[in-house]
Structure 1
Amino acid sequence: MTMPTRVYIARLAGLTVFDPNGDQVGRVRDAVARLRGAANSPQVVGLVAEMPLRRRIFLSINRITSIDSEAVVLGSGTLNLRRFEKRPNELLVLEELLDRRVRIESTGGTGVVVDVAMESSRSGEWSLTRVAVREQTGRLTRRGQLHQLDWEMAPGLTGASEARGTANLLAVLEDMRPADLANALQELSDTRRNEVAAALDDARLADVLGELPEHDQVEILTALGRERAADVLEEMDPDDAADLLSELPLPERDVLLDLMQPDEADPVRQLLKYKPGTAGSVMTSEPVILPPDATVAEALARIREPQLSPAVAAQVFVVRAPMATPTGRYLGIVHFQRLLREPPAELLGAMVVNDLDPLQPGTPLPEITRRMAMYDLVAMPVVDTNNRLVGAVTVDDVLDQSLPRDWRDRTGDDDQSGGGTTPGQAPGAGPTGGPDG
């Protein structure tokens, strides 16, 4: 295999990392470079890979045997699984350089960094050598010219940065699942994290907030400003919005609820009334609900809706009108497996199952966990004293409440390690083409 010597780092983001046996280790999230003073370009010492369970580890560059447009492959040796922690003299290339403003000497104008290339020398050392910069035109309908600058011709890349855009960093992060994007945000500085969060659209940010620790949720929401914060809360599931608002001081909570649309705020207000640690406090107030005269075809169409989580889409709750919680009289459940076995025109009322007592809003979490485990359930109905459906507790709600409160917080790890080890023999390089012009 021919090994090019120049690699554009933004193109590595998201590539799968394999060990010598072909087993997946994780995915590339960034590159680590060691600063060497103003006279020398930074030395690339390795990559940061994200493993399952959101752990980021350091991969020394001398462990990498090949890089191409599909994957990164490691050579033999022991993999250090300790959590990566950047050292003071190190630089995370994508996190810290993308979207920086740079002066273009040849035109006298300015541009923003869209990619950075690392290159291997004859001695096998990798360093940052080229910077791809998109010229800013001031016109919304025209993309500026792309310039390829030598590292030394782009001064100021490693100093303190003024507030900058987020377009190119978001392009690197856009294909991540909400949980992975939340993990990436935790790696950013507070200022950069808030900039990136603010640049996400309301629905995407709502999904990401639900995957962050409570203190990060509060800080991001506060930085958005009240009007934008209310818009984002409207996009969140009511139970997630209620959990977030419960972390705020009561006056601020009331202001945000008043700014939300009434039909979005009302279910959140209801959830906030329940005692913590009960079915009412952890349930979703928007399960899949249909009347008994709905057909199997209608039910299958509802559970196919892409915004539904797997646990919510696993069953349909059948009730008398009205259909919004609190509903009319609760009749029972139809599981999706039963729906798949029945004719499309069959009515739900003919296949309802109601052999288990539903939960009450005050049912404590340990009792919910015991009953769901005993009967292998992914969701249970919650009804009030008048047998009206007020919500459903899903298995992911129970799991989230059963884990330690800080389980989403990456700063809680105690097995942190530094990034750099001095690279030895250079690996094979990868993609040779620069960013598209």
Structure 2
Amino acid sequence: MSAPTRVFIARLAGIAVFDPAGDQVGRVRDVVVALRLGRRPPRVLGLVVEVQPRRPVFLPITRVTTVEADQIVFDGRLNMRRFQQRASETLVIAEMLDRTVQLADTGETVSVVDVAMEPTRARDWLLSKVAVRRGGGRGLRRRRGELLVVDWEAITGLSAVEHGQGAAGLLAAFEQLKPADLANLIHELPTKRRDEVAAALDDERLADVLGELPEDEQIEILGKLGLERAADVLDAMNPDDAADLLGEMPAEQRERLLTLMEPEEAAPVRRLLTYPEHTAGGLMTTDPVILPPDATVAEALALIRNPELDPALAAQVYVCRPPTATPTGRYLGTVHFQRLLREPPSFLVSGLVDTELAPLRPTLSLEAVAAFLATYNLVAAPVVDEDGHLLGTVSVDDVLDHLLPEDWRERVLETAADEPTDPEEEALRRPAQDGMPHEDRQETR
């Protein structure tokens, strides 16, 4: 195996994994280790690699041929059975980072920042070093403490269950993950760790992640945040996502949360809750890109360039007379972004509107909305009331969310491939017998 003598595991998070032909098969999400008695360094079993579609699989460390700063290469053999953590296994990034431990010689309390692994003469890998921070606390204050790198044997406390564990290190390791991928990671965590990570996320990030989780997990996480924090997260969610989530709650709890939300954020959610779920009104989002008739092409392009804007919403702008917040003044028409790209920046959007297609009515059924989008090859369509006011837009992702089976998110996150068990993988992950670890048995043959 081509590898450095020491690898800090948090730095592996998210790096690409390649087969011998140079094709990328996934990205590293964590490292699986087996703890051992006393202070003996844990043995590395393998990597958790996320392959498409968002499936974590186990890659035995014995099949890794190259470990570099920007890539992992393995021998090409990969069992696609979904990774299921066993009771004897520990995930380094998910479970060790941010742990509170003690220095064995002084008893001083420190927090874990990173963990390093090193290869042995027997071609196994062991956890060898721990980067810890002293006197820094958690959260933002943790940066003030002194950083130390000590031997694994120099710390105690990593084998015990810790209550109130922080999550700053884990979140830093996966800072660049898209919300859907972070949701997948959170879904795989034990309930205790999942709650700690959710509590550590800021409101906007947690709002994005919740929208990618199954509804029962959304409700469970939100319920453990406390009413005021839960209301803040709902404020940060897209109104249609917030309405979908609140619609699954008991009426009393829903009303308490709506009361605690900011009035300007709660108002569109209340409107959405008045429509049946499987209608255009129940599907729509209330914050599309809206412009007055005297806006220019340059202004429209500036708005849809916003990287935080959903691609479906950025595909077109809606021209309405003031007010330009939903429900708007009279709806005049839609301008597609391709048309904007073909016209001079100084042109007014009112001269470019497409009025050929009639807008949707809020009472239109889900099936009719899906047929409309499919017929005209649209990614979104306006929803207008009988008086000609724009109420919102329905995008194709909203339609897919409701056309797919109710448990489709659980299926994506949990469905395992019917792959046969890999004997080599089973042997590696099976706990050592007779009190002797695997690598020690190899050396004594």
TM-score (norm 2): 0.91
How far apart, in 1, do the equivalents of 2:58 and 2:2 lie?
Answer: 26
1:323-376 Cα distance to aligned partner (Å, 9 max, x none)? 111112211111011111111111111111111121111111111111111111
Report the 3-state secondary structure (helix = DSSP H, G, I; strand = E; otherwise coil) of the residue aligned with 2:53: helix
* Mapped partners of 1:320, 1:138: distance in 2: 54
**Alignment partner of 1:192: what SS?**
helix
SS in 2 for 1:224: coil
CA distance in 1, matches of 2:96, 2:380: 45
1:56 maps to which residue?
56
Shift of 1:406: 1.8
Segments of structure 1 that go 5 or more residues without pairing to the other structure are: 427-437
Deviations for 1:205-261, whole angstroms, at most 9, x for unmatched residues?
A: 111111111111111111111111111111111001101111111101001111111
Q: What is the match of residue 263 of structure 2? A: 262
Who is 1:252 aligned against? 253
Q: 1:81 & 1:319 partners in 2: Cα distance?
A: 51
1:123 alignment partner in structure 2: 122
* Counterpart position of 2:200: 199
The corresponding residue for 1:10 is 10
1:401 is displaced (CA, Å) by 1.6
Q: Does 1:297 align with 2:298?
A: yes
CA distance in 1, matches of 2:176, 2:426: 30
In the alignment, what sits opposite 1:280? 281
Q: CA–CA distance in 1 between the matches of 2:346 and 2:12?
A: 50
**Counterpart contact for 2:184–2:413, Cα < 8 Å:** no
**Is this contact kept in 1: 2:7–2:118, CA < 8 A?**
yes
Secondary structure of 2:83's partner? Answer: strand
Given that residues 83 and 416 in structure 1 are in contact (C-alpha distance below 8 angstroms), is that contact kept between their aligned partners in structure 2? Answer: no
Aligned to 2:233: 232
Partner deviation per Cα, 1:56-109 (whole Å, 9 max, x = no partner): 0100111111010010001133x2111100111111111111111111134442
Which one is further off, 129-138 or 56-65? 129-138
Question: What is the correspondence of 1:107-256 to structure 2 with a 5 Å cutoff?
Answer: 107-137=106-136, 140=141, 143-256=144-257
Aligned partner letter, 1:232:
V
Cα distance in 2 for residues equivalent to 1:138 and 1:413: 39
When residues 205 and 111 of structure 1 are mapped into structure 2, their CA distance, relative to the original with a 3 A threshold, is: same
Name the CA distance, whole Å, in 1 between partners of 2:16 and 2:27. 4
Match of 1:332 in 2: 333
Q: Superposition pairs for residues 344-383 of structure 1, below 5 Å?
A: 344-383=345-384
Of 172-181 and 1-10, more deviation after overlay is shown by 1-10
2:133/2:142 contact within 8 Å kept: no
Query: Is structure 2 residue 66 aligned with structure 1 residue 66?
Result: yes
CA distance in 1, matches of 2:313, 2:101: 48
Query: Structure 2: where are the runs of 5+ without partners?
Result: 430-437, 440-445
> Which has the higher mean CA deviation after the structures are superposed, 349-358 or 104-113?
104-113
Q: What does residue 435 of structure 1 align with?
A: none
TM-score, normalised with respect to structure 1:
0.92
Q: Deviations over 1:183-207 (max 9, x none)?
A: 1111111121111111111111111
Distance 1:248 1:168, change over 3 A: same
C-alpha deviation, 1:34, in angstroms: 2.1
Cα separation, 2, equivalents of 1:90 and 1:141: 28
> Size of the alignment, in residue pairs?
425
Q: CA deviation at 1:414?
A: 4.2
Contact 2:380/2:395 (<8 A) preserved: yes
Name the CA distance, whole Å, in 2 between partners of 1:132 and 1:23: 33
Distance 2:137 2:357 in 1: 64
- Counterpart in 2 of 1:430? none
Identity of matched residues, %: 56
CA positional deviation for 1:402: 1.8
Give the structure 2 partner of residue 34 of structure 1.
34
Q: 3-state SS of the aligned residue for 1:127?
A: strand
Letter in 2 for 1:70: D
The residue type equivalent to 1:118 in the other structure is M
2:393 is paired with a residue whose SS is: strand
Pick closer, same or farther for the CA change 1:201–1:121 going to 2, 3 Å.
Answer: same
Distance 1:138 1:279, change over 3 A: closer
Query: What is the Cα-based RMSD across aligned positions, in Å?
Result: 2.2
- Aligned equivalents of 1:46, 1:216: Cα separation in 2: 28
Residue 423 of structure 1 and its aligned partner are, at CA, apart by 5.1
Q: Quick one: structure 1 residues 380 and 2, their matched pair in 2 at CA, closer, same or farther if it must change by over 3 Å?
A: closer
CA 1:280–1:142 in 2, change beyond 3 Å: closer, same or farther? closer
Contact 1:213–1:406 (CA<8 Å) still a contact in 2? yes
- Is structure 2 residue 415 aligned with structure 1 residue 413? yes
Seen in structure 2, the aligned counterparts of structure 1 residues 48 and 358 have a Cα distance that, compared at 3 Å, is same
